[in-house]
Amino acid sequence: MKYCEWCGKSTTNKPVHVAQTPILEWIEERINKIGRKQIWGENSDWSKLEMDSDFEAELLVYDQLLSTVSKSTVCTRCLKEDERMWEKYYDDDSGDDEGGMFVVVEE
C-alpha cells in the first residue's frame, strides 16, 4: 500500500511529478491580502511592504516548495484539490501559459 505524500491517506496512484507541497489556500489568501503583484511582481520590493519577517520566511519556504518538483505519490483527491487551487489563484485566463503547469487526473 502507498500513501499520499501530501495528506497521508492510502492511495493506489502511481508516483507523478508534482511540487513538494500542494497550493495552500491559507497562504494564498494572505498573499491576496497584501497583493499578488506587490509580492510576486517583477518590480516587487518586500522592504516597502507591511510584512513581518515571519511571513517573509513563510513565503520563501512556500515558494521553494512550490517550485521544487519531484516524483511523488499523491492521491486523486489532493491532485484535484491542487488543480482547483491553481485555477483559483494562478489561472488568470490571459492566454499566457508561461510558467503554468498542473497535473491532469484521468479517471
**What is the span of the domain harbouring residue 33?**
2-89
* Residue 102: inside a domain: no
Residue 107 confidence (pLDDT)? 45
Burial environment of residue 22 by CB neighbours within 10 A (0 to 12, 13 to 18, 19 or more): buried
* Residue 70: inside a domain: yes
Q: In this predicted model, what pLDDT tens digit does every residue of 29-57 receive, in sequence order?
A: 999 999 999 998 888 899 999 899 999 99
19 forms beta bridges with: 69
Q: In this predicted model, what pLDDT tens digit does every residue of 84-100 receive, in sequence order?
A: 999 999 887 554 545 55
The full DSSP string for 19-30 is ESS---HHHHHH
Using the structure block, give the residue that is written with the C-alpha cell 499566457.
96
* Residue 74: inside a domain: yes
Number of domains in the chain: 1
* Residue 95: inside a domain: no
Whole-model pTM: value is 0.81
